[in-house]
């Protein structure tokens, strides 16, 4: 690692953006590469390459969870530090499932952020050192596979034959495939939308969706409304 670490600050609140930008700039070894007030703006800026994203979860166009998902689909491996006031279990669990370097709850002070940044810099230095071009033997490769450090395959899409024995008694694999066909790896849909597209009841649709979440065939997402709890959405797990 040479030069300062480049940080993208993403927050829909202008005051928070300005404050976090000042704190990042005041931290040795870091520089602000850019700011964004929306998820779309963040994704566009990532095309220029940064080392770390300070990502808020509540954004005006798409949620921070959706930003994390689109980064995954696009193969963008930039590290993310979540900085959010969102404390509900749905948001926290979904954000942590994307393996950010941290989840810092608002409000926080300058010292708390700089502590996270310094910890990230130390971890980044250690990671860079471990990734130097040192030849690996068969034992090294086998250890990586056995510890799960390398993902060699993603969850398989359910097929009729494979699904029959996994489904509870009385649940049709044919209906399962209709549910799966109504889903997409990018555009998340609500249970009501899936039910309408497949002609199944909402209760039946939810039962199938819950099963698919358990098997890893689909991911949870969410949509923030103006009021109330976030709406739970579903989408296919991207193929590896």
Counts of helices then strands in the chain (DSSP H, E): 10, 7
Q: With a cut of 90, say whether residue 15 has pLDDT above it.
A: yes
- The residue with greater pLDDT, 162 or 145, is 145
Q: With a cut of 90, say whether residue 173 has pLDDT above it.
A: no
**Mean predicted lDDT score pLDDT of the chain:** 80
pLDDT tens for residues 188-203? Answer: 888 888 888 888 888 8
Q: Given pLDDT bands bounded at 50, 70 and 90, which one contains residue 239?
A: low
Calculate mean pLDDT across residues 105-133. Answer: 82
Nearest to 63 by CA among 192, 183, 185, 232: 232
Calculate mean pLDDT across residues 142-153. Answer: 47
Domains present along the chain, CATH in parentheses: 5-130 (3.40.50.2300), 160-236 (1.10.10.10)
Q: With a cut of 50, say whether residue 39 has pLDDT above it.
A: yes
Q: For residue 189, which phi and psi values (nearest 5 degrees)?
A: -130, 150
Q: With a cut of 70, say whether residue 7 has pLDDT above it.
A: yes
Q: Given pLDDT bands bounded at 50, 70 and 90, which one contains residue 217?
A: confident
pLDDT of residue 235: 84
What's the rounded Cα separation, in Å, for the pair 18 and 40? 19
Nearest to 236 by CA among 187, 163, 167: 187
**Do residues 215 and 155 make contact, with C-beta atoms less than 8 angstroms apart?**
yes
What's the rounded Cα separation, in Å, for the pair 9 and 53? 6
pLDDT of residue 149: 41
What's the rounded Cα separation, in Å, for the pair 25 and 31? 5
Name 231's bridge partners.
223
- Dihedral Cα 90, 96, 102, 107, nearest 10 deg: 0
Q: With a cut of 50, say whether residue 157 has pLDDT above it.
A: no
- What does pTM read for this prediction? 0.58
Q: With a cut of 70, say whether residue 134 has pLDDT above it.
A: no
């Amino acid at each position: 690692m040479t030069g300062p670490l480049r940080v993208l600050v993403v927050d829909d609140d202008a005051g928070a953006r300005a404050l976090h930008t000042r704190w990042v700039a005041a931290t040795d070894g870091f520089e602000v590469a850019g700011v964004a007030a929306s998820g779309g703006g963040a994704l566009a800026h990532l095309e220029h390459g940064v080392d770390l994203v300070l990502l808020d979860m509540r954004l005006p166009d798409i949620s921070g969870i959706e930003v994390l998902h689109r980064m995954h689909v696009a193969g963008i491996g930039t590290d993310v530090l979540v900085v959010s006031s969102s404390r509900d279990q749905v948001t926290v669990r979904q954000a942590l499932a994307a393996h950010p370097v941290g989840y810092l709850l608002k409000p926080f002070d300058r010292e708390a952020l700089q502590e996270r940044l310094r910890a990230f810099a130390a971890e980044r230095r250690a990671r860079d050192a471990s990734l130097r071009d040192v030849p690996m033997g068969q034992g090294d490769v086998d250890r990586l596979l056995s510890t799960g450090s390398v993902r060699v395959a993603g969850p398989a899409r359910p097929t009729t034959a494979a699904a029959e024995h996994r489904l509870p008694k009385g649940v049709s694999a044919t209906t399962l495939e209709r549910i799966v066909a109504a889903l997409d790896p990018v555009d998340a849909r609500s249970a009501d939308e899936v039910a309408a597209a497949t002609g199944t009841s909402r209760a039946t649709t939810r039962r199938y969706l819950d099963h698919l979440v358990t098997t890893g065939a689909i991911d949870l997402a969410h949509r923030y409304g103006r009021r109330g709890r976030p709406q739970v959405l579903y989408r296919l797990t991207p193929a590896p």
